[in-house]
Chain A
Amino acid sequence: MNKLHLVSAVAAAVLAGGLTAAQAQEYPVDTVTLVTHSSPGGGSDVFLRELSRYLSPYLGANVIVENVSGGSGAKAMAQLAQAPADGSMFYATTPTFIYTSLLSDPEYKYTDLEPLVNFFIDPEVIYTSAKGQFKTLEDVIQYARDGRGQWGAANPASLERQALEQLKAAAGVNAAVVTHEGGGDMMINVLNGTLQIGVGEVQEIQSQIEAGELRLLATFSDKRLDAFPDLPTVKEAGYDVVVRKFRGLAGPKGLPEDVIAAWEAATQKVLADPKYKEAYEGANLRAEFMPHADYVKFIETFGTETADFLKKTGVIE
Protein backbone atom coordinates (compact mmCIF):
# COMPACT_ATOMS: atom_id res chain seq x y z
CA MET A 1 0.00 0.00 0.00
CA ASN A 2 0.80 3.54 -0.41
CA LYS A 3 2.20 6.23 1.76
CA LEU A 4 -0.83 8.27 1.01
CA HIS A 5 -1.12 11.81 1.98
CA LEU A 6 -4.62 11.71 3.23
CA VAL A 7 -5.78 14.94 4.69
CA SER A 8 -8.92 13.62 6.24
CA ALA A 9 -12.21 15.27 6.74
CA VAL A 10 -10.73 16.41 10.01
CA ALA A 11 -10.42 19.90 8.69
CA ALA A 12 -14.18 20.10 8.57
CA ALA A 13 -14.49 18.60 12.01
CA VAL A 14 -12.06 21.15 13.36
CA LEU A 15 -13.93 24.03 11.82
CA ALA A 16 -17.20 22.77 13.25
CA GLY A 17 -16.01 21.65 16.66
CA GLY A 18 -12.87 23.67 17.20
CA LEU A 19 -14.56 27.03 17.16
CA THR A 20 -17.04 26.13 19.83
CA ALA A 21 -14.73 24.25 22.17
CA ALA A 22 -12.61 26.47 24.32
CA GLN A 23 -9.01 26.36 23.22
CA ALA A 24 -7.67 26.51 26.72
CA GLN A 25 -4.12 25.41 26.15
CA GLU A 26 -1.57 26.53 23.64
CA TYR A 27 -0.27 23.52 21.75
CA PRO A 28 3.18 24.28 20.30
CA VAL A 29 2.33 23.32 16.70
CA ASP A 30 -0.74 23.88 14.54
CA THR A 31 -0.98 20.48 12.93
CA VAL A 32 -0.32 17.10 14.49
CA THR A 33 0.21 14.12 12.20
CA LEU A 34 -0.69 10.69 13.49
CA VAL A 35 1.13 8.02 11.52
CA THR A 36 -0.21 4.50 11.25
CA HIS A 37 1.25 1.44 9.55
CA SER A 38 -2.27 0.24 8.93
CA SER A 39 -3.53 0.75 5.40
CA PRO A 40 -6.52 3.04 4.84
CA GLY A 41 -9.65 1.31 6.06
CA GLY A 42 -7.72 -1.09 8.30
CA GLY A 43 -8.43 -1.48 12.01
CA SER A 44 -5.93 1.03 13.35
CA ASP A 45 -6.72 3.46 10.58
CA VAL A 46 -10.44 3.59 11.28
CA PHE A 47 -9.71 3.90 14.99
CA LEU A 48 -7.30 6.81 14.46
CA ARG A 49 -9.54 8.70 12.08
CA GLU A 50 -12.42 8.41 14.50
CA LEU A 51 -10.17 9.59 17.32
CA SER A 52 -8.75 12.49 15.35
CA ARG A 53 -12.23 13.89 14.75
CA TYR A 54 -12.87 14.27 18.46
CA LEU A 55 -9.35 15.02 19.58
CA SER A 56 -8.66 18.26 17.70
CA PRO A 57 -10.65 20.67 19.89
CA TYR A 58 -9.28 19.18 23.11
CA LEU A 59 -5.71 19.32 21.93
CA GLY A 60 -5.99 22.71 20.31
CA ALA A 61 -4.38 21.62 17.06
CA ASN A 62 -5.38 20.10 13.77
CA VAL A 63 -5.05 16.34 13.86
CA ILE A 64 -4.51 14.50 10.60
CA VAL A 65 -3.85 10.85 9.88
CA GLU A 66 -1.17 9.56 7.55
CA ASN A 67 -0.75 5.97 6.38
CA VAL A 68 2.83 4.80 6.16
CA SER A 69 2.38 1.13 5.51
CA GLY A 70 5.17 -1.14 4.46
CA GLY A 71 7.34 -3.52 6.40
CA SER A 72 4.61 -4.00 9.05
CA GLY A 73 5.50 -0.71 10.70
CA ALA A 74 9.25 -0.73 10.04
CA LYS A 75 8.90 2.23 7.72
CA ALA A 76 6.62 4.19 10.01
CA MET A 77 9.07 3.67 12.89
CA ALA A 78 11.97 4.87 10.78
CA GLN A 79 10.06 8.00 9.81
CA LEU A 80 9.10 8.73 13.41
CA ALA A 81 12.53 8.13 14.88
CA GLN A 82 13.93 10.77 12.53
CA ALA A 83 11.08 13.27 12.98
CA PRO A 84 11.53 16.44 15.08
CA ALA A 85 10.53 15.92 18.73
CA ASP A 86 8.29 18.98 18.84
CA GLY A 87 4.95 17.24 19.17
CA SER A 88 4.08 17.51 15.49
CA MET A 89 4.21 13.81 14.69
CA PHE A 90 3.23 10.63 16.52
CA TYR A 91 2.94 6.96 15.69
CA ALA A 92 -0.10 4.88 16.55
CA THR A 93 1.26 1.98 18.54
CA THR A 94 -0.16 -1.52 18.64
CA PRO A 95 1.70 -4.69 19.63
CA THR A 96 2.67 -5.01 15.96
CA PHE A 97 5.40 -2.41 16.32
CA ILE A 98 7.07 -4.46 19.02
CA TYR A 99 6.77 -7.71 17.05
CA THR A 100 8.17 -6.09 13.93
CA SER A 101 11.07 -4.60 15.88
CA LEU A 102 11.98 -7.96 17.34
CA LEU A 103 11.32 -10.22 14.37
CA SER A 104 12.58 -8.22 11.44
CA ASP A 105 15.33 -6.37 13.23
CA PRO A 106 14.80 -3.11 11.28
CA GLU A 107 17.13 -0.15 11.46
CA TYR A 108 14.80 1.76 13.79
CA LYS A 109 13.01 -0.19 16.52
CA TYR A 110 10.40 0.48 19.15
CA THR A 111 13.21 1.33 21.53
CA ASP A 112 14.08 4.30 19.31
CA LEU A 113 10.69 5.84 20.04
CA GLU A 114 9.27 7.36 23.18
CA PRO A 115 5.84 6.07 24.23
CA LEU A 116 3.45 8.99 24.87
CA VAL A 117 0.12 7.86 26.33
CA ASN A 118 -2.18 4.88 25.98
CA PHE A 119 -5.81 5.19 24.90
CA PHE A 120 -7.31 1.73 24.74
CA ILE A 121 -6.82 -1.91 25.53
CA ASP A 122 -8.67 -4.13 23.07
CA PRO A 123 -10.12 -7.19 24.72
CA GLU A 124 -8.99 -10.41 23.05
CA VAL A 125 -11.55 -13.17 23.30
CA ILE A 126 -11.64 -16.90 22.60
CA TYR A 127 -14.57 -17.92 20.45
CA THR A 128 -15.98 -21.08 18.90
CA SER A 129 -18.72 -21.96 16.44
CA ALA A 130 -22.16 -21.83 18.05
CA LYS A 131 -23.02 -25.06 16.22
CA GLY A 132 -20.05 -26.85 17.76
CA GLN A 133 -19.87 -29.06 20.83
CA PHE A 134 -17.79 -26.74 23.01
CA LYS A 135 -19.56 -24.84 25.75
CA THR A 136 -16.66 -23.76 27.94
CA LEU A 137 -12.94 -23.22 27.63
CA GLU A 138 -12.43 -26.37 29.69
CA ASP A 139 -14.26 -28.43 27.01
CA VAL A 140 -11.78 -27.19 24.44
CA ILE A 141 -8.78 -27.88 26.64
CA GLN A 142 -10.12 -31.35 27.46
CA TYR A 143 -10.59 -32.07 23.74
CA ALA A 144 -7.00 -31.08 23.11
CA ARG A 145 -5.86 -33.19 26.04
CA ASP A 146 -7.66 -36.27 24.68
CA GLY A 147 -6.41 -35.95 21.17
CA ARG A 148 -5.15 -33.12 19.11
CA GLY A 149 -6.56 -29.64 19.27
CA GLN A 150 -6.56 -27.15 16.43
CA TRP A 151 -6.54 -23.53 17.50
CA GLY A 152 -6.43 -20.49 15.27
CA ALA A 153 -4.40 -17.30 15.51
CA ALA A 154 -5.02 -14.48 13.06
CA ASN A 155 -1.41 -13.74 12.08
CA PRO A 156 1.97 -15.43 12.27
CA ALA A 157 4.08 -14.24 15.19
CA SER A 158 1.36 -12.09 16.65
CA LEU A 159 0.05 -11.33 20.11
CA GLU A 160 -2.75 -13.84 19.51
CA ARG A 161 -0.30 -16.57 18.65
CA GLN A 162 1.75 -15.80 21.72
CA ALA A 163 -1.40 -15.95 23.88
CA LEU A 164 -2.34 -19.36 22.51
CA GLU A 165 1.17 -20.74 22.90
CA GLN A 166 1.11 -19.55 26.51
CA LEU A 167 -2.31 -21.10 27.06
CA LYS A 168 -1.03 -24.34 25.60
CA ALA A 169 1.90 -24.33 27.98
CA ALA A 170 -0.26 -23.38 30.98
CA ALA A 171 -2.74 -26.17 30.26
CA GLY A 172 -0.05 -28.65 29.32
CA VAL A 173 -1.79 -29.76 26.14
CA ASN A 174 -0.54 -30.32 22.64
CA ALA A 175 -2.63 -28.26 20.25
CA ALA A 176 -1.69 -27.12 16.78
CA VAL A 177 -1.70 -23.32 16.64
CA VAL A 178 -2.64 -22.52 13.07
CA THR A 179 -1.78 -19.05 11.82
CA HIS A 180 -3.75 -17.20 9.17
CA GLU A 181 -3.66 -14.10 7.03
CA GLY A 182 -5.97 -12.07 9.17
CA GLY A 183 -8.97 -12.48 11.39
CA GLY A 184 -11.52 -13.04 8.62
CA ASP A 185 -9.67 -15.96 7.15
CA MET A 186 -9.53 -17.57 10.57
CA MET A 187 -13.19 -16.88 11.35
CA ILE A 188 -14.25 -18.95 8.33
CA ASN A 189 -12.22 -21.88 9.61
CA VAL A 190 -13.85 -21.59 13.02
CA LEU A 191 -17.32 -21.37 11.47
CA ASN A 192 -16.77 -24.43 9.28
CA GLY A 193 -15.38 -26.46 12.14
CA THR A 194 -11.79 -26.79 10.92
CA LEU A 195 -10.65 -25.09 14.11
CA GLN A 196 -12.11 -25.56 17.58
CA ILE A 197 -11.33 -22.02 18.70
CA GLY A 198 -10.09 -18.74 17.37
CA VAL A 199 -8.73 -15.69 19.15
CA GLY A 200 -9.66 -12.20 18.09
CA GLU A 201 -10.94 -8.79 19.03
CA VAL A 202 -14.60 -8.44 19.87
CA GLN A 203 -15.18 -5.83 17.19
CA GLU A 204 -14.14 -8.21 14.42
CA ILE A 205 -16.72 -10.83 15.35
CA GLN A 206 -19.44 -8.60 16.76
CA SER A 207 -21.90 -9.25 13.96
CA GLN A 208 -21.44 -13.03 14.18
CA ILE A 209 -22.01 -12.99 17.93
CA GLU A 210 -25.22 -10.99 17.55
CA ALA A 211 -26.42 -13.40 14.88
CA GLY A 212 -25.70 -16.32 17.18
CA GLU A 213 -23.17 -17.89 14.80
CA LEU A 214 -20.25 -17.69 17.21
CA ARG A 215 -20.06 -18.35 20.92
CA LEU A 216 -17.60 -16.63 23.25
CA LEU A 217 -15.75 -18.91 25.64
CA ALA A 218 -13.37 -16.66 27.57
CA THR A 219 -11.53 -13.36 27.47
CA PHE A 220 -7.79 -12.87 27.80
CA SER A 221 -8.29 -9.54 29.62
CA ASP A 222 -7.36 -9.11 33.27
CA LYS A 223 -10.97 -8.56 34.37
CA ARG A 224 -14.40 -9.33 32.94
CA LEU A 225 -15.75 -7.17 30.11
CA ASP A 226 -18.56 -4.71 30.68
CA ALA A 227 -20.28 -5.78 27.47
CA PHE A 228 -20.18 -9.47 28.41
CA PRO A 229 -20.35 -9.67 32.22
CA ASP A 230 -20.99 -13.44 32.14
CA LEU A 231 -17.89 -14.22 30.12
CA PRO A 232 -15.12 -15.61 32.36
CA THR A 233 -11.52 -14.54 31.98
CA VAL A 234 -8.94 -17.13 31.02
CA LYS A 235 -7.33 -16.53 34.39
CA GLU A 236 -10.58 -17.43 36.18
CA ALA A 237 -10.66 -20.64 34.19
CA GLY A 238 -7.40 -21.56 35.86
CA TYR A 239 -4.78 -20.61 33.27
CA ASP A 240 -2.64 -17.64 34.14
CA VAL A 241 -2.52 -15.91 30.76
CA VAL A 242 -3.42 -12.22 30.39
CA VAL A 243 -3.13 -10.38 27.12
CA ARG A 244 -3.19 -6.64 26.70
CA LYS A 245 -3.52 -5.44 23.14
CA PHE A 246 -2.79 -1.78 23.59
CA ARG A 247 -3.58 1.18 21.37
CA GLY A 248 -1.62 4.31 22.16
CA LEU A 249 0.80 6.80 20.69
CA ALA A 250 4.58 7.12 20.57
CA GLY A 251 6.79 9.95 19.40
CA PRO A 252 10.44 10.66 18.70
CA LYS A 253 12.82 10.52 21.67
CA GLY A 254 13.04 13.64 23.82
CA LEU A 255 9.49 14.94 23.75
CA PRO A 256 9.16 18.30 25.55
CA GLU A 257 7.33 18.43 28.90
CA ASP A 258 4.57 20.75 27.73
CA VAL A 259 3.68 18.47 24.81
CA ILE A 260 3.41 15.47 27.13
CA ALA A 261 1.29 17.41 29.58
CA ALA A 262 -1.00 18.66 26.81
CA TRP A 263 -1.55 15.11 25.55
CA GLU A 264 -2.19 13.70 29.02
CA ALA A 265 -4.86 16.34 29.60
CA ALA A 266 -6.42 16.06 26.15
CA THR A 267 -6.50 12.25 26.20
CA GLN A 268 -8.43 12.11 29.45
CA LYS A 269 -10.87 14.73 28.19
CA VAL A 270 -11.49 13.09 24.84
CA LEU A 271 -12.02 9.67 26.43
CA ALA A 272 -14.67 11.24 28.66
CA ASP A 273 -16.39 13.00 25.75
CA PRO A 274 -19.91 11.51 25.72
CA LYS A 275 -20.19 11.39 21.94
CA TYR A 276 -16.81 9.75 21.46
CA LYS A 277 -17.52 7.41 24.33
CA GLU A 278 -20.66 6.23 22.58
CA ALA A 279 -18.70 5.66 19.38
CA TYR A 280 -15.83 3.68 20.88
CA GLU A 281 -17.93 1.66 23.26
CA GLY A 282 -20.11 0.74 20.30
CA ALA A 283 -16.96 -0.60 18.66
CA ASN A 284 -16.10 -2.59 21.81
CA LEU A 285 -12.96 -0.68 22.66
CA ARG A 286 -12.05 -0.40 26.31
CA ALA A 287 -10.67 2.96 27.37
CA GLU A 288 -7.57 2.56 29.48
CA PHE A 289 -5.71 5.78 29.83
CA MET A 290 -2.09 5.43 30.83
CA PRO A 291 -0.06 8.56 31.55
CA HIS A 292 3.34 9.00 29.96
CA ALA A 293 5.40 7.62 32.82
CA ASP A 294 3.30 4.46 33.13
CA TYR A 295 3.12 3.90 29.40
CA VAL A 296 6.89 4.02 29.00
CA LYS A 297 7.23 1.33 31.63
CA PHE A 298 4.36 -0.69 30.17
CA ILE A 299 5.90 -0.77 26.69
CA GLU A 300 9.28 -1.66 28.16
CA THR A 301 7.83 -4.61 30.07
CA PHE A 302 5.76 -5.70 27.09
CA GLY A 303 8.83 -5.59 24.89
CA THR A 304 10.96 -7.62 27.29
CA GLU A 305 8.27 -10.24 27.80
CA THR A 306 7.73 -10.60 24.07
CA ALA A 307 11.46 -10.84 23.43
CA ASP A 308 11.70 -13.55 26.08
CA PHE A 309 8.90 -15.50 24.45
CA LEU A 310 10.41 -15.23 20.99
CA LYS A 311 13.84 -16.23 22.27
CA LYS A 312 12.48 -19.15 24.25
CA THR A 313 10.69 -20.49 21.19
CA GLY A 314 13.78 -19.93 19.07
CA VAL A 315 12.25 -17.48 16.61
CA ILE A 316 14.97 -14.93 17.29
CA GLU A 317 18.43 -15.18 18.74
Chain B
Amino acid sequence: MLTRDFVGGVASIAIGTVYLYFAYQLRISALDDSMGPGGLPRVYGWLLVGLGAVLTIQAIVSRRMAMASDATGGRDEWDGQGRKILHAAGLLAIGTGYVLVIETLGYLLSVAVLLLVTTLYLGAGNKGRALAVAVLGAVFLWVMFVIVLGVRMPSGVLASLGL
Protein backbone atom coordinates (compact mmCIF):
# COMPACT_ATOMS: atom_id res chain seq x y z
CA MET B 1 0.00 0.00 0.00
CA LEU B 2 2.83 2.38 0.80
CA THR B 3 4.03 3.47 -2.61
CA ARG B 4 6.70 6.14 -2.99
CA ASP B 5 4.13 8.72 -4.04
CA PHE B 6 1.93 7.91 -1.06
CA VAL B 7 4.82 8.42 1.36
CA GLY B 8 5.86 11.61 -0.48
CA GLY B 9 2.32 12.97 -0.33
CA VAL B 10 1.90 12.28 3.37
CA ALA B 11 5.31 13.78 4.14
CA SER B 12 4.36 16.95 2.21
CA ILE B 13 1.14 17.29 4.20
CA ALA B 14 3.10 16.89 7.42
CA ILE B 15 5.75 19.46 6.50
CA GLY B 16 3.09 21.87 5.28
CA THR B 17 1.12 21.57 8.51
CA VAL B 18 4.11 22.26 10.74
CA TYR B 19 5.12 25.22 8.55
CA LEU B 20 1.59 26.64 8.62
CA TYR B 21 1.52 26.39 12.40
CA PHE B 22 4.55 28.68 12.64
CA ALA B 23 3.40 30.92 9.77
CA TYR B 24 0.24 31.78 11.69
CA GLN B 25 2.25 32.87 14.69
CA LEU B 26 4.23 35.61 12.96
CA ARG B 27 3.93 39.05 14.51
CA ILE B 28 1.97 41.81 12.84
CA SER B 29 3.18 45.41 13.04
CA ALA B 30 2.14 48.84 11.83
CA LEU B 31 5.11 48.95 9.46
CA ASP B 32 3.73 45.91 7.64
CA ASP B 33 2.22 45.97 4.24
CA SER B 34 -1.28 44.47 3.96
CA MET B 35 0.24 41.11 3.11
CA GLY B 36 2.50 41.05 6.14
CA PRO B 37 5.42 38.73 6.83
CA GLY B 38 3.03 35.79 7.09
CA GLY B 39 1.10 36.37 3.88
CA LEU B 40 3.06 34.36 1.39
CA PRO B 41 4.25 31.72 3.87
CA ARG B 42 0.60 30.89 4.53
CA VAL B 43 -0.03 30.56 0.80
CA TYR B 44 3.00 28.28 0.49
CA GLY B 45 1.89 26.23 3.46
CA TRP B 46 -1.64 25.67 2.14
CA LEU B 47 -0.31 24.89 -1.32
CA LEU B 48 2.04 22.31 0.12
CA VAL B 49 -0.75 20.67 2.11
CA GLY B 50 -3.06 20.76 -0.92
CA LEU B 51 -0.51 19.33 -3.34
CA GLY B 52 0.46 16.69 -0.80
CA ALA B 53 -3.19 15.64 -0.63
CA VAL B 54 -3.40 15.48 -4.44
CA LEU B 55 -0.28 13.34 -4.58
CA THR B 56 -1.61 11.01 -1.87
CA ILE B 57 -4.90 10.56 -3.68
CA GLN B 58 -3.08 10.02 -7.00
CA ALA B 59 -1.01 7.33 -5.33
CA ILE B 60 -4.02 5.54 -3.89
CA VAL B 61 -5.95 5.68 -7.18
CA SER B 62 -3.08 4.48 -9.35
CA ARG B 63 -2.37 1.72 -6.82
CA ARG B 64 -5.97 0.53 -7.04
CA MET B 65 -5.78 0.51 -10.82
CA ALA B 66 -2.48 -1.36 -10.76
CA MET B 67 -3.92 -3.90 -8.29
CA ALA B 68 -6.83 -4.56 -10.62
CA SER B 69 -4.68 -5.30 -13.61
CA ASP B 70 -1.63 -6.82 -12.03
CA ALA B 71 -1.34 -8.58 -8.71
CA THR B 72 2.43 -8.54 -8.46
CA GLY B 73 4.69 -5.56 -7.89
CA GLY B 74 4.33 -3.09 -5.10
CA ARG B 75 6.51 -4.67 -2.48
CA ASP B 76 9.67 -4.90 -4.61
CA GLU B 77 9.82 -1.14 -4.95
CA TRP B 78 10.95 -1.01 -1.33
CA ASP B 79 13.20 -4.05 -1.50
CA GLY B 80 16.58 -3.36 0.01
CA GLN B 81 15.74 0.26 0.84
CA GLY B 82 16.01 -0.38 4.58
CA ARG B 83 19.55 -1.67 4.25
CA LYS B 84 20.40 1.27 2.00
CA ILE B 85 19.11 3.77 4.52
CA LEU B 86 21.19 2.04 7.18
CA HIS B 87 24.38 2.32 5.11
CA ALA B 88 23.70 5.97 4.37
CA ALA B 89 22.99 6.60 8.06
CA GLY B 90 26.51 5.41 8.83
CA LEU B 91 28.00 8.16 6.69
CA LEU B 92 25.55 10.60 8.21
CA ALA B 93 26.77 9.62 11.66
CA ILE B 94 30.37 10.26 10.62
CA GLY B 95 29.39 13.71 9.35
CA THR B 96 27.47 14.52 12.51
CA GLY B 97 30.43 13.40 14.58
CA TYR B 98 32.67 15.77 12.64
CA VAL B 99 30.30 18.68 13.30
CA LEU B 100 30.35 17.87 17.02
CA VAL B 101 34.12 17.63 17.42
CA ILE B 102 35.45 20.25 15.02
CA GLU B 103 35.35 23.13 17.50
CA THR B 104 37.07 21.21 20.30
CA LEU B 105 39.42 18.97 18.34
CA GLY B 106 40.37 21.62 15.80
CA TYR B 107 40.20 21.56 12.03
CA LEU B 108 43.41 19.72 11.19
CA LEU B 109 42.80 16.79 13.54
CA SER B 110 39.09 16.43 12.88
CA VAL B 111 39.47 16.50 9.12
CA ALA B 112 42.21 13.85 9.31
CA VAL B 113 39.96 11.64 11.44
CA LEU B 114 37.05 12.30 9.09
CA LEU B 115 39.10 11.25 6.07
CA LEU B 116 40.37 8.09 7.75
CA VAL B 117 37.04 6.96 9.14
CA THR B 118 35.18 7.71 5.89
CA THR B 119 37.65 5.88 3.65
CA LEU B 120 37.54 2.84 5.91
CA TYR B 121 33.76 2.99 6.17
CA LEU B 122 33.41 3.20 2.40
CA GLY B 123 35.49 0.08 2.07
CA ALA B 124 39.11 1.00 1.44
CA GLY B 125 41.11 -2.20 1.80
CA ASN B 126 44.60 -1.04 2.57
CA LYS B 127 44.66 0.42 6.11
CA GLY B 128 48.17 1.85 5.83
CA ARG B 129 47.30 3.60 2.60
CA ALA B 130 44.08 4.98 4.09
CA LEU B 131 46.06 6.41 7.00
CA ALA B 132 48.63 8.00 4.72
CA VAL B 133 45.93 9.52 2.49
CA ALA B 134 44.08 10.84 5.54
CA VAL B 135 47.17 12.56 6.92
CA LEU B 136 48.31 13.99 3.60
CA GLY B 137 44.78 14.98 2.63
CA ALA B 138 44.20 16.76 5.93
CA VAL B 139 47.46 18.68 5.59
CA PHE B 140 46.57 19.60 2.01
CA LEU B 141 43.11 20.89 2.99
CA TRP B 142 44.55 22.73 5.95
CA VAL B 143 47.15 24.48 3.80
CA MET B 144 44.50 25.30 1.21
CA PHE B 145 41.89 26.75 3.52
CA VAL B 146 43.91 28.12 6.42
CA ILE B 147 47.18 29.23 4.84
CA VAL B 148 46.21 30.12 1.27
CA LEU B 149 42.64 31.31 1.73
CA GLY B 150 43.09 32.59 5.27
CA VAL B 151 39.86 31.03 6.54
CA ARG B 152 39.78 30.92 10.33
CA MET B 153 39.21 27.26 10.98
CA PRO B 154 39.01 26.32 14.64
CA SER B 155 42.43 25.35 15.95
CA GLY B 156 41.06 23.40 18.96
CA VAL B 157 43.56 21.35 20.94
CA LEU B 158 46.37 22.30 18.58
CA ALA B 159 45.98 25.98 19.44
CA SER B 160 49.06 25.88 21.65
CA LEU B 161 51.17 24.78 18.67
CA GLY B 162 50.07 27.82 16.74
CA LEU B 163 48.12 25.84 14.17
Say whether A and B bind each other: yes
Cα A254 to Cα B151 in complex, Å, equals: 31
Partner of A5 from B27, B28, B29, B150 at Cβ < 8 Å = B150
Interface size on B, residues (CB 8 A): 8
Cα A308 to Cα B16 in complex, Å, equals: 37
Query: Across the interface, do B152 and A313 meet the contact criterion of CB distance under 8 Å?
Result: no
Q: Provide the residues of chain B in CB contact with A156, threshold 8 Å.
A: 31
B30 within 8 A of A: yes
Query: Across the interface, do A314 and B28 meet the contact criterion of CB distance under 8 Å?
Result: yes
Query: Across the interface, do A5 and B31 meet the contact criterion of CB distance under 8 Å?
Result: no
Q: Provide the residues of chain B in CB contact with A2, threshold 8 Å.
A: 151
A46 within 8 A of B: no
Cα A315 to Cα B29 in complex, Å, equals: 5
Q: Provide the residues of chain A in CB contact with B27, threshold 8 Å.
A: 315
Cα A313 to Cα B30 in complex, Å, equals: 5
Cα A5 to Cα B150 in complex, Å, equals: 6
Cα A64 to Cα B30 in complex, Å, equals: 42
Q: Provide the residues of chain A in CB contact with B152, threshold 8 Å.
A: 3-5
- Chain B min CB distance to A288 (Å): 29
Interface size on A, residues (CB 8 A): 14
Partner of A315 from B30, B150, B151 at Cβ < 8 Å = B30
- Chain A min CB distance to B133 (Å): 28
Cα A316 to Cα B31 in complex, Å, equals: 10
Query: Across the interface, do B31 and A161 meet the contact criterion of CB distance under 8 Å?
Result: yes
Q: Mark B15-34, 1 if CB is under 8 A from A, else 0.
A: 00000000000011111000
Closest to A156 in B: B31
A24 within 8 A of B: no
Please report which residues of chain A, range 1-30, place their CB below 8 angstroms from some CB of chain B when the two chains form the complex.
2-6
Cα A165 to Cα B31 in complex, Å, equals: 9
Q: Mark B29-48, 1 if CB is under 8 A from A, else 0.
A: 11100000000000000000
Q: Mark A282-317, 1 if CB is under 8 A from B, else 0.
A: 000000000000000000000000000000111110
What are some 9 contacts across the A-B interface (CB < 8 A)? A4-B150, A6-B150, A157-B31, A312-B30, A313-B30, A313-B31, A314-B29, A314-B30, A315-B27
Instruction: List 9 other contacts, CB 8 Å, given A4-B151, A313-B30.
Output: A4-B150, A4-B152, A5-B150, A5-B151, A6-B150, A156-B31, A314-B30, A315-B30, A315-B31
Q: Residues of A with Cβ closer than 8 Å to B?
A: 2-6, 156-157, 161, 165, 312-316
Q: Residues of B with Cβ closer than 8 Å to A?
A: 27-31, 150-152
Closest 9 CB pairs of A and B: A313-B30, A314-B29, A315-B29, A314-B30, A313-B31, A5-B150, A5-B152, A315-B31, A313-B29
